[in-house]
Amino acid sequence: MIKAFVSAGYQKGLTLQALPYDWRKGYQQHDLDTLLPMIVEKMHYIVSKGVTLIAHSMGNYQVLNML
């Protein structure tokens, strides 16, 4: 997935950020409640535009819960 975004012009660490997590752990065992807002704010600051979140598999539920 990352290769597809990079080939579309996104730059890893600048306009493309990943937030991996261990799917075997429960929601309470992750720092997503602090990491996700920090990444979204950082991305908004860098690009000065809206930020699009793309999640996969159980990450959909994690992001939905955060929103």
What is the per-residue pLDDT for 58? 75
Hey, where are the domains in the chain? Answer: 2-66
| Average pLDDT per 10 consecutive residues for the chain, totaling 67 residues | 91 86 76 85 88 83 80
Contact 66, 33 (CB under 8 A): yes
Instruction: Classify residue 15 by burial, with Cβ atoms within 10 Å: 0-12, 13-18, 19+.
Output: middle
